[in-house]
Amino acid sequence: MSSEHRPLLMRANRLLGATLVEQNLVKIEDLETANEQLLEVVAGDHPRQSTVLGILAFKMKVLREEDVLQHLVDEHGLGLVDLRNYDASEELKKTMDVGACWATWTVPFDREDDFHLVATAYYLSPAVRTYWEKKFNGPIVWYGTTLEMIGDFLEKISGQSRG
């Protein structure tokens, strides 16, 4: 990950973690442990592992990603999207800032008229919503999705294989 996206990544993760604690989805002690692990991962420059949500859900197993997605549906009225069914348009591929997508665990995957369709695993991070709202001049339709789907989508767009 380039140094230009590192502050965004750290802010996105910090604010996501704070919201997860605030909404009683994780304990503060677990978040502190996950944040320490995140710093090690970020230093190693592995974008696919640079996620406090992934650390909490898959390494520490103190949170289920499904519970976060269900929270998005129940509390925030978001729909869910399966990105495996989407192929990004050439226009989208050309304009997509893949580094920012990795930093925010968010991808714009389609556009209808003035509406940008955006899938994210980090909706609960105010830093993520603010970043994308500033980037797109126009309304955003937010969808929740999994870390795995975001990662696979980004790797497909940038022509990388999973690793």
Same domain, 33 and 103: no
pLDDT of residue 161: 47
Classify residue 73: in a domain, yes or no: no
By CB neighbour count within 10 A (0-12 exposed, 13-18 middle, 19+ buried), where does 76 fall? exposed
How many C-beta atoms surround the C-beta of residue 104 within 10 A? 29
Domain holding 111: CATH number?
3.30.300.160
Q: Which of 37, 64, 91 is the last residue of a domain?
A: 64
pLDDT digits (tens, 9 = 90+) for 118-150: 999 999 999 999 999 999 988 999 999 999 999
Q: Are residues 53 and 88 in the same domain?
A: no
Same domain, 60 and 84: no
Answer with the one of 35, 64, 93 that is the final residue of a domain: 64
What pLDDT is stored for residue 163 in this prediction?
A: 41
pLDDT tier, 16 (very low <50, low <70, confident <90, very high otherwise)? very high
Tell me which of 14, 41, 64 is where a domain ends: 64
Q: Is 4 helix (H, G, I), strand (E, B) or coil?
A: coil
Do residue 60 and residue 85 come from a single domain?
A: no
Same domain, 29 and 89: no
- In sequence order, the 6+-apart residues with CB closer than 8 A to the CB of 27 are 21, 62
pLDDT tens figures, 22-32? 999 999 999 99
- What SS3 class is residue 79? strand
Sort 6 into a burial class: Cβ within 10 Å, 0-12 / 13-18 / 19+: middle
Q: Is 94 helix (H, G, I), strand (E, B) or coil?
A: helix
Q: Which domain holds residue 37?
A: 3-64
Higher pLDDT, 24 or 92: 24
Q: What is the pTM of this model?
A: 0.93
